[in-house]
Amino acid sequence: MLDIKFVRENPDIVKENIKKKFQDYKLPLVDEVLDLDTKNRQVKLHGDELRSNRNSLSSQIGLLMREGKKDEAESIKQQVSKINDELAENEKLELEYAEQIKERMLKIPNIIDASVPIGKDDSCNVEVEKFGDPIVPNYEIPYHTDIMERFCGIDLDSARRVAGNGFYYLMGDIARLHSAVISYARDFMINKGFTYCVPPFMIRSDVVTGVMSFEEMDAMMYKIEGEDLYLIGTSEHSMIGKFKDQILSKSSLPYTMTSYSPCFRKEKGAHGIEERGVYRIHQFEKQEMIVVCEPEDSYDWYNKMWSYTVELFRSLDVPVRTLECCSGDLADLKAKSVDVEAWSPRQQKYFEVGSCSNLTDAQSRRLGIRIKGEKGNYFAHTLNNTVIAPPRMLIALLENNYNEDGSINIPTALQPYMGGTKILIPKN
């Protein structure tokens, strides 16, 4: 959420930013906010005048009573009573204006960084750099679920009977490999100095609206019927929510945390050839990283964070590339974002396995996360990044370590988490 003062002083910049995100339907929101803000400030000024008059009159009552002028005192009391009634109506109007302003401000996107490429959708994202040589072997690589089935490692039919489409059972060596990846990612981030955390897997609505836009909320979140609780779509939601309404000391910054959680997503409107299997699903596990820091440090952390994901994937012998997300592909709270994509030798193209985002102070303003400064408190910056998200990671791992005989090489870094196993031999 933007600073109302910034919108007030820079309406053209806010409108131009909306245009860069190809959300012209939101342009009227700016003028509506400005109009409501003017009315609200007038109401506040009137409220201050009423309180001043009330205080002045109230101070006279005691004096008149001591002088025995009860009739005059009663007359002033009636005036004070009328002011109180008017003030109550004024405060009600002030509250209504404030709510209307907030409702619109929550829909106005964050100001994107000047370096963000302008484009309407993800087809306009820009490749930044490749890491590792993408290899296409001279033998066929099966679809990822076919590979898993050869190890008796997945059961989609039973999952459909139990929960419907978008769910799965992982079993045996594949399930162990899944857990090994999560454990390795956890230790990888701990070795980078991040604090490990297992957060709540449900959050309240005020946290949901603090960490994401209404559009994202509708497309992603599962609501718990009859309760003010939502299942998290990523642990970043509850991790950032941890700092809600907190005033942080400068000496405690930055907060660097890595968190494990299951994730639950509607995946509303998600369709495509890779929807089958375990590429796009309703439930998965994930290792995440978040940073809460000083505003001037956020872009340094941004570059560190995505580089950690690249380093992790390369340590598992998976070639990756980074893509700069264009303006139209950025969620409303993001100022800048980069996707990390892994190489798929089967498809002979890259596919998304993670995303790193700098949200500047957008989440902090919504959640009230401030830093105690010498000249007043100010809002922190927040960032998040996917460390690793099986089972998408499994797809990249299986395909890039698949041998012609159907066996799977276990990368050296993962072998300690697999009981020393160096190669998986298919059962079918």
Q: Give the tens place of pLDDT for each residue, 16-29.
A: 999 999 999 999 99
CA atoms of 253 and 211, how far apart (whole Å)? 20
Among candidate residues 70, 105, 140, the one where a domain is terminated: 105
pLDDT for 160 equals 92
Structural domains of the chain, count: 2
Looking at residues 207-236, what average pLDDT do you find? 91
pLDDT for 276 equals 64
Among candidate residues 79, 105, 131, the one where a domain is terminated: 105
Residue 111 lies in a domain: no
Tell me: do 223 and 152 sit in the same domain: yes
Tell me: do 25 and 87 sit in the same domain: yes
Q: Which amino acid is at 112?
A: I
Looking at residues 271-295, what average pLDDT do you find? 83
Lowest mean pLDDT among 51-65, 176-190, 206-220, 414-428: 51-65
* Alpha helices, H only, 143-233: 144-150, 156-162, 172-191, 205-211, 214-220
Tell me: do 325 and 243 sit in the same domain: yes
pLDDT for 72 equals 83
pLDDT for 277 equals 81
CATH code of residue 51: 1.10.287.40
Residue 115 lies in a domain: no
pLDDT for 74 equals 78
Going by C-alpha positions, the residue among 169, 134, 167 that lies closest to residue 154 is 169
Residue 280 lies in a domain: yes
Taking only the tens place, the pLDDT of each residue in 69-107 is 888 887 888 888 889 999 999 999 999 999 999 999 999
Residue 319 lies in a domain: yes
Residue 116 lies in a domain: no
Tell me: do 162 and 248 sit in the same domain: yes
pLDDT for 274 equals 46
Residue 145 lies in a domain: yes
Looking at residues 214-234, what average pLDDT do you find? 91
pLDDT confidence tier of residue 273, bands split at 50, 70 and 90: very low
Residue 49 lies in a domain: yes
Angle, helices 172-191/298-315, rounded to nearest 10 degrees = 140
- The answer on pLDDT for 62 being more than 80 is no
Element (H, E) at 7: helix 4-9
Domain that holds residue 56: 4-105
Residue 248 lies in a domain: yes
